[in-house]
């Protein structure tokens, strides 16, 4: 471990829901075991989910260092021959990102059904691991981050800017996973419900995978503008076209009168599902991708599933191999899908409460914490 590592580290801690986060000092982890490492946070994305966490809407432990979309530089390695998830050697100073979810690898879902996203013992940095006990540094909102040996770390290529990685954030890998199950085929028509981060990521994949036309239904206007820059063939502004019947009419116009082959829900509100099933052609596939929060039941008609012969699919979170796809996509296709341009606001660590408030007020594109600022 290099002599230059400080003895302590500042992190923004959520000690109570709905209360300001406080920047606190933690001792630096020592005695790293092989595979473990400490990374110096370069940039920590503020995900909309963090706002929900802060409001206490999800059941997470406290005190918590949030931050689950992070790029960083390797600051200390538990063993000199440490490699990243793809087997590439890691050296001090290397720029990396990493999956925050760590499945146990040994439960029923990890083993029998190869479904680590549904691991019964899943740990997620910045989300469900409290920072009270060592090694403390378990979230992105801090100067340094500790990584367990089973973390999937990815060395970032020189031509892949950190802004792209954090700009795409966890939304992109979530969408990569969803589209894997959706099994989208080229030349299919695709509707994306929602123009937020997951919607934009889904649009990017739908375009890249040869979707035609790609239709985004959402808002507000500037988000739809961004969707157009990412290649959306049709956008429907829900602030403008407030009547769902009229929205459906426009979808039918754009899909030869029958509805789309594929509809991807990226909204998170149950009503979107009601509207979404109506936008499906018979035999279509519908992906429920935005329902991470439990917004409760909504009146839905299962008769439609039978009558329209629908396939309704869900996926949860992501796995490391979705990261390999996402990172290579970001690197090679930056021109067409400029995720790096999404970052509109940069905050210092001590501005974290200001940052969360700005995100909560939807004032930002993507906001990030830059602890080293």
Counting every residue, how long is the chain? Answer: 373
* Spatial distance between the Cα atoms of 155 and 325, rounded to a whole number of angstroms: 14
**Rounded least distance, CB 170 to a copy of itself, Å:** 14
Binder among 49, 70, 162, 315 for a copy of itself (CB under 8 A): 315
DSSP line for 232-248: -SEEEETTT---HHHHH
**Rounded least distance, CB 258 to a copy of itself, Å:** 6
Please tell me whether residue 33 binds a copy of itself under the rule CB under 8 A: no
**Rounded least distance, CB 46 to a copy of itself, Å:** 22
Please tell me whether residue 180 binds a copy of itself under the rule CB under 8 A: yes
Interacting residues of 124 by C-beta distance below 8 A, sequence separation 6+: 68, 100, 101, 102
Please tell me whether residue 353 binds a copy of itself under the rule CB under 8 A: no
C-beta closer to a copy of itself: residue 310 or 343: 310
Binder among 60, 170, 312, 369 for a copy of itself (CB under 8 A): 312
Binder among 73, 109, 148, 358 for a copy of itself (CB under 8 A): 109
Part of the chain binding a copy of itself (CB under 8 A), chosen from 13-21, 26-34, 54-62, 180-188: 180-188
Binder among 185, 221, 228, 373 for a copy of itself (CB under 8 A): 185
* Spatial distance between the Cα atoms of 141 and 356, rounded to a whole number of angstroms: 11
CB 79 within 8 A of CB 4: no
Tell which positions 259-278 bind a copy of itself, by CB under 8 A: 265, 270, 273
DSSP annotation of 189 reads -
Q: Comparing C-alpha atoms, which of 124, 123, 8 is closest to residue 66? A: 124
**Rounded least distance, CB 144 to a copy of itself, Å:** 25
Q: Comparing C-alpha atoms, which of 284, 279, 287 is closest to residue 248? A: 279
Helix axes 221-229, 197-208, angle to 10 degrees: 20
C-beta closer to a copy of itself: residue 30 or 106: 106
Binder among 72, 90, 100, 289 for a copy of itself (CB under 8 A): 289
* Spatial distance between the Cα atoms of 127 and 111, rounded to a whole number of angstroms: 24
* Spatial distance between the Cα atoms of 259 and 249, rounded to a whole number of angstroms: 9
* Spatial distance between the Cα atoms of 163 and 142, rounded to a whole number of angstroms: 18
Q: Going residue by residue from 321 to 350, which x/- string records binding to a copy of itself, judged by CB under 8 A?
A: x--xx--xx--x------------------
Count of chain residues binding a copy of itself (CB under 8 A): 71
C-beta closer to a copy of itself: residue 278 or 350: 278
Residue 22's H or E segment, with its range, is strand 22-27
Please tell me whether residue 253 binds a copy of itself under the rule CB under 8 A: no
C-beta closer to a copy of itself: residue 11 or 190: 190
**Rounded least distance, CB 226 to a copy of itself, Å:** 20
- At CB < 8 A and 24+ separation, what contacts does 237-244 make? 244/275, 244/278
Please tell me whether residue 128 binds a copy of itself under the rule CB under 8 A: no
Q: End-to-end CA distance of the chain, in Å?
A: 24
DSSP annotation of 262 reads E
Tell which positions 47-86 bind a copy of itself, by CB under 8 A: 85-86
Binder among 125, 146, 154, 179 for a copy of itself (CB under 8 A): 179
Q: Going residue by residue from 207 to 226, which x/- string records binding to a copy of itself, judged by CB under 8 A?
A: -xxx-x--------------
Q: Comparing C-alpha atoms, which of 32, 18, 28, 167 is closest to residue 90? A: 32
Part of the chain binding a copy of itself (CB under 8 A), chosen from 12-20, 49-57, 133-141, 205-213: 205-213
CB 317 within 8 A of CB 117: yes
Binder among 5, 51, 295, 357 for a copy of itself (CB under 8 A): 295
- Identify whether 213 is preceded by a cis peptide bond (ω within 30 of 0): yes
């Amino acid at each position: 471990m290099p002599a230059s590592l400080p003895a302590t580290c500042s992190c923004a801690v959520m000690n109570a829901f709905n209360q300001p986060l406080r920047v606190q000092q933690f001792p630096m982890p020592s005695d790293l075991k092989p595979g473990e490492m400490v990374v110096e946070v370069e940039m920590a994305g503020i995900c909309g989910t963090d706002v929900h966490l802060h409001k206490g809407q999800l059941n997470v432990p406290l005190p918590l260092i949030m931050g689950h979309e992070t790029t960083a530089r390797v600051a200390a390695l538990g063993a000199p021959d440490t490699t990243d998830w793809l087997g590439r050697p890691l050296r001090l100073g290397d720029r990396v990102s990493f999956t925050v979810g760590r499945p146990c690898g040994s439960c029923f879902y990890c083993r029998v059904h190869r479904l680590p996203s549904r691991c019964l013992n899943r740990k997620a940095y910045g989300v469900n691991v409290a920072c009270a006990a060592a090694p403390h540094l378990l979230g992105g909102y801090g100067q340094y981050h500790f990584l367990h040996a089973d973390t999937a770390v990815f060395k970032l290529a020189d031509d892949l800017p950190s802004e792209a990685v954090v700009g795409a954030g966890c939304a992109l890998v979530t969408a990569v996973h969803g589209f894997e199950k959706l099994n989208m085929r080229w030349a299919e028509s695709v509707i994306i419900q929602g123009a937020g981060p997951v919607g934009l990521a889904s649009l990017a994949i739908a375009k890249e995978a040869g979707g035609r036309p790609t239709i985004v239904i959402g808002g507000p206007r500037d988000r739809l503008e961004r969707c157009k820059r990412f290649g959306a063939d049709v956008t429907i502004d829900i602030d403008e076209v407030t009547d769902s019947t009229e929205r459906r009419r426009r979808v039918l116009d754009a899909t030869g009168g029958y509805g789309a082959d594929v509809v991807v829900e990226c909204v998170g509100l149950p009503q979107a599902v009601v509207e979404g099933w109506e936008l499906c052609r018979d035999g279509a596939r519908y992906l429920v991708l935005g329902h991470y929060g439990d917004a409760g039941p909504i009146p839905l008609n299962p008769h439609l599933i039978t009558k329209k012969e629908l396939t309704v699919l869900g996926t949860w979170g992501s796995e490391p191999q979705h990261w390999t796809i996402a990172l290579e996509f970001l690197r090679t296709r930056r021109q067409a899908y400029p995720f790096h341009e999404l970052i509109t606001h940069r905050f210092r660590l001590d501005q974290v409460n200001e940052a969360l408030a700005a995100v909560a007020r939807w004032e930002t594109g993507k906001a990030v914490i830059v602890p080293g600022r």
